[in-house]
Copies of this chain bind each other. A is one copy, B any other.
Amino acid sequence: MKTALLGYGVVGSGVHTLTKAQPEHGVTIARMLVRRDIEAIRAIATRDFNEIVSDPSIETVVEVMGGEEPALSYVKAALRAKKNVVTANKLMLSLHYAELISLARENGAHLAFSAAVGGGIPWLTNLLRVARVDSVESLGGIMNGTTNFILTAMQQGGADFAETLAEAQRLGYAEADPTADIDGLDVRAKLALSCDAAFSQMADAAAVPALGIRHITAADVALFRQLGLTCRLIGKAERTEAGVAAYVEPTLFAADAPEAGVNGTGNVISFRCTGLGAQSFFGLGAGQSPTASAVMQDLIDTSAGTTAFDLARCNGAFIPDASSARHAYYLRTAAALPVGLAVRPLGKTPAGNACITKPLPVSALHALVQDCLAVGGSAFAAGLA
């Protein structure tokens, strides 16, 4: 299968290496869209996407550039030219999912994106498969390796957030602009894609409330340790009486919960079904090898003419409801809290008073944190699992 690669960064070069090392799969990288001049790939490189999209011998395009544009324009043009697309770009997918799924269908092309959620963990493919025979009641877990690395390092080393983020950037685990990771927007996109696989309906990603870890302090982490709890950034979606609740927020787990044992850049993602019960998938959520491996799986399936993503239904988008899910929270803020909210004070920290709240709707707590940030300068909250 003659294939073009858009992007030759960490993942792109990993995919190139894999296809060369495994000729038995018959996937050949015949063209590459790259900006730089790299001697080793000069013979097949181009800076002009038109050379790729207008080449009828190219059956499949692998998009591993990331970002919304120009990736989106290239992917749409490739699908319109009836080329299959394999992508790891969860941001682009979460923003333009319905359009891309429709375009693929109209043009009889495959659109596969195993690597978009969970890195090398076969999460979406298995979720799509289970949803064809069972009813998914809830799903979620640790879906972002960068924030899990930061939270693990803060827990083990006692350092503060800014310092730990800088260390993660130095090690290549966090990007120069860490916003998407630390504010939970990356998890939000992955959660939205998981909702379509599970519920046949896309969550409107922009409407999923997301609390990140930007405001966590070493004092918060020290309090969690005293309580015997471990903080992890979680994406969660669950069927409720009101529809589907979906949200992203830091969550505190007891030491024996599987999430508490997932350290560094590890991910664990779970679903609960009516018939099958709960299943969990553990593994490395990011990195060159896992991501390139997931892209390679999609390429092999695409080449064979069938992928689990052909099951994606995308019966429209829904606005997730975050008022029907509720739990108690750890809340630390310098702002004054409404009377009766705190049920267990945890004392003063340098950045405000900490407490455990009474059970609150997710939407109410997220709004409260935004209010506290607006007036108090700092606030951090984490749900109690």
B residues within 8 A CB of A240?
A: none
Closest B residue by C-beta to A280:
B282
The answer to whether A126 and B126 have CB atoms under 8 Å apart is: yes
The answer to whether A281 and B284 have CB atoms under 8 Å apart is: no
A10 to chain B, nearest CB (A): 14
A378 to chain B, nearest CB (A): 32
A134 contacts the other chain (CB 8 A): yes
B residues within 8 A CB of A129?
A: 122, 297
B residues within 8 A CB of A261?
A: 256-258, 261
A184 contacts the other chain (CB 8 A): no
Bin the interface of chain A by size: 35 or more
The answer to whether A275 and B290 have CB atoms under 8 Å apart is: yes
B residues within 8 A CB of A100?
A: none
The answer to whether A290 and B306 have CB atoms under 8 Å apart is: no
A79 contacts the other chain (CB 8 A): no
Contacts A122-B126, A256-B261, A297-B129; is A279 near B283 (CB within 8 Å)? yes
A129 to chain B, nearest CB (A): 6
The answer to whether A277 and B256 have CB atoms under 8 Å apart is: no
A47 contacts the other chain (CB 8 A): no
The answer to whether A133 and B293 have CB atoms under 8 Å apart is: yes
CA A165 – CA B25 in complex, angstroms?
Answer: 49
Which residues of A (267-298) have their CB < 8 Å from a CB of B? 270, 275-284, 289-290, 292-293, 296-297
A237 to chain B, nearest CB (A): 19
A176 contacts the other chain (CB 8 A): no
A120 contacts the other chain (CB 8 A): yes
The answer to whether B121 and A279 have CB atoms under 8 Å apart is: yes
B residues within 8 A CB of A304?
A: 306
A291 to chain B, nearest CB (A): 10
B residues within 8 A CB of A283?
A: 276-280
A132 contacts the other chain (CB 8 A): yes
The answer to whether B126 and A279 have CB atoms under 8 Å apart is: no
A317 contacts the other chain (CB 8 A): no
**B interface footprint on A113-148 (CB within 8 Å = 1, 0 otherwise):** 000000011100010011011100000000000000
A57 contacts the other chain (CB 8 A): no
The answer to whether B22 and A133 have CB atoms under 8 Å apart is: yes
The answer to whether A120 and B280 have CB atoms under 8 Å apart is: no
**B interface footprint on A246-271 (CB within 8 Å = 1, 0 otherwise):** 00000000011110010000000010
CA A187 – CA B296 in complex, angstroms?
Answer: 32
Most buried by B among A255, A257, A293, A296: A293
| Partner among B133, B257, B282 whose Cβ is within 8 Å of the Cβ of A282 | B282
CA A275 – CA B289 in complex, angstroms?
Answer: 5
The answer to whether A293 and B279 have CB atoms under 8 Å apart is: no
| Partner among B256, B281, B292 whose Cβ is within 8 Å of the Cβ of A280 | B281
Can you list 30 residue pairs at the A/B interface with Cβ under 8 Å? A22-B133, A120-B277, A121-B279, A122-B129, A122-B130, A129-B297, A130-B293, A132-B297, A133-B296, A133-B300, A134-B293, A256-B261, A257-B261, A258-B261, A258-B282, A275-B289, A275-B290, A276-B289, A276-B293, A277-B283, A277-B290, A278-B282, A278-B283, A279-B282, A279-B284, A280-B280, A280-B281, A280-B282, A281-B281, A282-B282
Interface residues in chain A, defined as those with a beta carbon under 8 Å from any beta carbon in chain B: 18, 22, 25, 120-122, 126, 129-130, 132-134, 255-258, 261, 270, 275-284, 289-290, 292-293, 296-297, 300, 304, 306
Smallest CB-CB A-B distances: 7 pairs:
A279-B283, A280-B282, A275-B289, A120-B276, A277-B284, A133-B296, A276-B293
